[in-house]
Chain A
Amino acid sequence: MRIVVCVKHVPDIQSDRTLDASGRVVRDGGDGTLNELDENALEAALALAEAAGGEVVALTVGPDDAVDAVRKGLQMGADEAVHVLDDAIAGSDAIGTARVLAAAINHVGAQAPVDLVVTGMAGLDGLTSLLPSALAALLDLPALPLAAEVTVEGTTVRVRRNLDHASEVLEAALPALVSVTDQANEPRYPNFKGIMAARKKPVTTLTLADLGLSGSEVGTAGARTEVLEAAARPARENRVLVNDQGDAGTQLAAYLVANQLA
């Protein structure tokens, strides 16, 4: 089984994340890391490839530092990595990013067919959750998003997922796309052997031209949304912090009533 895992380099959620004047995520603050939810995607892909035999290609799109995301994938056990790097990609919305990923997956698939595409459930930077379904639509693959559990038997992939009001079991024939949640597994840590082995694994860098994409389809030019304003929320005012002296519950009740919250 040949699996492509899409991973993203994002600002660490523990860091001070900022948007620039044009509303883009500042990605060069040095606080970047592999999107945590993509570790679950990598783990799912590696486990499936180990069970069925096969290989895992880690794929990312992003500026120079983004290569760290696929390197982490290689350290965890992926066999090869692809990094799509092109200045014209900056400013892409989720659909634009999906276009680049779709073209890159078709490029990887031209070498040998891809059976399964795995992504995380969302990027912790934008959190739109749009990418998996958009990517499946662009690749014309059946989508099985938000897997809390994923199994492959023969050429059938089955997913159990938990939605806001229901749980579902979805099934489709391969090739297909699956997105996995943080409930799906416990991602492995790269060990010393994995880190050493990763140094020898191939990382291919591709441009939009290599993928046959024009700059007008992606980046700011291809985006269908435009950020007009972005500002850090002002800090909350009139905050109260009390040490319970035996009457804090009563005081809080009065506060809630006074503020028409109860």
Chain B
Amino acid sequence: MTDSLVLLDHSADGTLRTPVRELVTLARGLGGAIHGVWAQDGAELDAATIADLGALGVTQVHRVSADADLHLSAVLAEAVASLLDATGAGLVLATSAFENKEAAARLAVLTGAGVVTDADGLVVEDGRLVASKTVFAGTWNTRCAITAPLAIVTLKANSVAVTPADEQVTPSVVDHAVTVSASARRVSLVERTERPASGRPDLGSAHVVVVGGRGTEGDFTLVEELADVLGGAVGATRVATDEGWIGHDAQIGQTGVTISPRLYIGVGVSGAVHHRGGMQASGTIVAVNSDPDAPIFEIADYGIVGDLNDVLPQLTAELRRLRA
């Protein structure tokens, strides 16, 4: 039995980030109490969110406030360390957002914890926590035991099927105020601009992602239409973002957004190694490209050598017809 602290990432309007539900589902499998950590960073924790967390099995929600900005990873790390002391939890679970990895690294130095980032599973074996993760751009599977008494695990999105708890609970809400060290205050957050929601699912955690590359020649209309009929997100290659066809935040790759959706569709994507590093762990990979030698065909479950201007409209229309 391991009690967990689960970081409840949320947007500026207080909406839980989608992968948080995966974290809670995963924590339930470990058998201990589940403490949610809600950073009081301006967004309100509303009753609907508390009920949502209770349905997933969160036993207690800690509303943490600090005398510095909790968006700063050094501040967040000290706040979580303080909650570890207060709860005695043996595991910190977080999404694999960059900020959380930064806080995880600091927390590991503060507490001596063992860290696994971008895990896709976590179980207890012989009393130890064992995380699974893929490495080398999704080409290797590894399993890794955390040998320290305290574990920090960040989970890759789309790793766990979200299920409600057998018994719904009403989590208690506890306020926890933290005074951070002078050293955590040395970075100032001069500006923070949250990107507005696009109306499509969040790219990092979407179940379906349609990606446009060089072959689109800058026109993402067909890519967007297909994404919308599938209820998916729109991503892009480095070429497409460098050309300014779409924002840099849509770039899929090992230095951009790393995705592992159930379905990846690459449209006019050649499959350069940097791009593959960000999507190779996807469930089913579909590729449409006019170049039969495109490297993406080496990893595609379903490849079509053809003109995207013929294939995509037909695919989108047929999906609409089958749905009707």
Between A158, A227, A256, the greatest number of chain B beta carbons within 10 A of the residue's beta carbon is seen for A256
| A15 CB, min distance to chain B CBs, angstroms | 10
Q: Which B76-134 residues have C-beta < 8 A from chain A?
A: 77, 97-99, 101-106, 108-110, 112-118, 130, 134
A200 within 8 A of B: no
Selected from B117, B130, B144, the residue in CB contact (under 8 A) with A23 is B144
CB closest residue in chain A, given B10:
A165
Whether A168 contacts B191 in the complex (CB less than 8 A), given A134-B106, A240-B302, comes out as: yes
Q: Is the interface of A mostly helix, strand, loop or mixed?
A: mixed
Roughly how many angstroms separate A183 CA and B312 CA in the complex, as a whole number? 31
CB closest residue in chain B, given A253:
B318
Whether A165 contacts B314 in the complex (CB less than 8 A), given A129-B101, A232-B140, A244-B304, comes out as: no
B322 within 8 A of A: yes
B202 / chain A contacts, CB cutoff of 8 Å: 165
Contact A253 B104 (CB under 8 A): no
A166 / chain B contacts, CB cutoff of 8 Å: 192-195
Contact A261 B143 (CB under 8 A): no
Contact A253 B322 (CB under 8 A): yes
| B10 CB, min distance to chain A CBs, angstroms | 10
Contact B71 A168 (CB under 8 A): yes
B189 within 8 A of A: yes
Selected from B187, B204, B248, B315, the residue in CB contact (under 8 A) with A253 is B315
B288 / chain A contacts, CB cutoff of 8 Å: 248
CB closest residue in chain A, given B71:
A168
1/0 per residue, CB under 8 A from B, across A133-174: the answer is 110111010111110000000000010001111111111110
CB closest residue in chain B, given A234:
B141
Between A17, A124, A253, the greatest number of chain B beta carbons within 10 A of the residue's beta carbon is seen for A253
Contact A170 B188 (CB under 8 A): yes
| B114 CB, min distance to chain A CBs, angstroms | 3
A128 within 8 A of B: yes
Known: A127-B118, A130-B117, A249-B315; 7 extra A-B contacts, CB below 8 A, are: A128-B118, A168-B189, A181-B255, A240-B301, A242-B304, A244-B304, A256-B286
14 cross-chain CB contacts under 8 A? A13-B277, A98-B109, A137-B110, A142-B186, A165-B17, A169-B192, A171-B190, A224-B115, A231-B141, A233-B138, A239-B302, A244-B307, A252-B302, A262-B319
Contact surface of A with B, Cβ cutoff 8 Å: 13-14, 17-19, 23, 37, 93-95, 98, 121-122, 124-134, 136-138, 140, 142-146, 158, 162-173, 176, 181-183, 223-233, 236, 238-244, 246-250, 252-257, 259, 261-262
**Which A-B residue pairs are the 10 nearest by beta carbons?**
A249-B314, A244-B306, A224-B114, A253-B318, A133-B105, A249-B315, A224-B148, A137-B109, A169-B191, A142-B186
